[in-house]
Amino acid sequence: MQKKIAVINGDGIGPEVTQQAIKVLNSVAETFGHQFIYTDCLMGAVAIDATGNPLPEETIKVCLDSDAILFGAIGHPKYDNDPSAKVRPEQGLLALRKALQLFANIRPISTYPALQHLSPLKSKQLEGVDFIVFRELTGGIYFGKKELSEDKQTATDECTYHKHEIERVSHQAFQYAQKRRKKLTLVDKANVLETSRLWRAVVQEMAPSYPDVKVDFLFVDNAAMQIILNPQQFDVILTENMFGDIISDEASVITGSLGLLPSASVGNSTALFEPIHGSYPQAAGKDIANPLGSILSSAMLLEHFGLPKEAALVREAVEWTLTNGFVTKDIDPLNFYFTSTIGDLISDYVQGKIPGSVKQENIELRKSTII
């Protein structure tokens, strides 16, 4: 298979984690006889520095002309504390989502036994936690009219949803639920918001077309609590843009590490794959960031290309590193491996270069010479 991948490294740790994902994709290509052709493009603070525009036209063109997009992270501290900044890195990502109509953001939340001790939850609550947050990504308050009155005393952000915007993401969520444990939870605030009442009405209207899926509804404040109290109850959570942003971050911490979670944003044209963590500027260039979110995003990308065997091998390699203690500083601050070493190990595993019997005593000593 030959595929074109647009690579948006972005800011902060974006380039170094994306580099590891590319390493792994190249190992997959070599092992399975595929060819991936990469084109780098700019977005975020680096794009503002280079062109004045957080999303240059050229980037949109390259993305539209590619089979998938691999994205690192964007954001820079010099914009975070400056509410008056006219141009912001985040505008690049929002504009790209809109330009490519990436209306569904899929964030799987799965737990790894090797990381349970890092979770703020007790391990009993974590067993078997495995759900997906389906977040609407191109509508709602994020893209509504924004206004600041001339006297700067009043600000407005409008939240609008059209029925067709709710339907297209909901269809995808229902279909995912059908392939999983067949439960769909709509998270909204229908006791207060008109848009939420429309979401509920539309999902209720669609439910009979998916008779095998059990649908339930939760107010977002309750959902925020339930994700902590009893995360095992969830299979597919469907929600609007803003609620999805908040609860997916909340859900991610229960797994023990934000650095590990991948995501896919899909729509009618090229799909985009990115770790859910941010640009973590304090760690940029130090080779200490966790590359697993990016590597697992490349597994989602492989699945999107219709390569489930390849995706499964990447996930197996990731689990192998975790269970054998090959982890970055966020997971083990004392005995840690570098970002690039983890990328090398996973690439080697994918290429079958790791012998089946690594010496257990060396693993325990965390010797990088075990192989």
371 vs 366: CA distance, rounded Å: 12
94 vs 214: CA distance, rounded Å: 32
**How many other β-carbons are positioned within 10 Å of the β-carbon of residue 149?**
9
Residue 115 CB-half CA count within 13 A: 28
Using CB under 5 A, which of 11, 235, 245, 274 touches Mn ion? 245
Q: How far is the CB of 103 from ligand IPM (least distance, A)?
A: 13
Give the x/- contact pattern for ligand IPM in 161-200, rule: CB under 6 A: ----------------------------------------
Longest dimension (CA), the chain: 70
DSSP collapsed to 3 states, 221-249: HHHHHHHHHCHHHCCEEEECHHHHHHHHH
Q: Which range, of 88-96, 122-130, 216-224, 360-368, touches ligand IPM by CB under 6 A?
A: 88-96
DSSP code for 138: S
Residues 90-129 that bind ligand IPM (CB under 6 A): 90, 93-94
245 lies in the binding site for ligand IPM (CB under 6 A): yes
Residues 14-33 that bind ligand IPM (CB under 6 A): none
H helix or E strand, kind and range, residue 30:
helix 14-32
Q: Which range, of 61-69, 99-107, 237-245, 290-298, touches Mn ion by CB under 5 A?
A: 237-245
The residue whose Cβ lies closest to Mn ion is 245
255 vs 252: CA distance, rounded Å: 6
Residues designated catalytic: 142, 189, 221, 245, 249
Q: Which range, of 87-95, 176-184, 213-221, 282-290, touches ligand IPM by CB under 6 A?
A: 87-95
Paired tokens of 102 = 């990436």
93 binds, among ligand IPM, Mn ion, none (CB under 5 to 8 A by kind): ligand IPM
By the criterion CB under 5 A, which residues form the site for Mn ion?
245
By the criterion CB under 6 A, which residues form the site for ligand IPM?
90, 93-94, 245
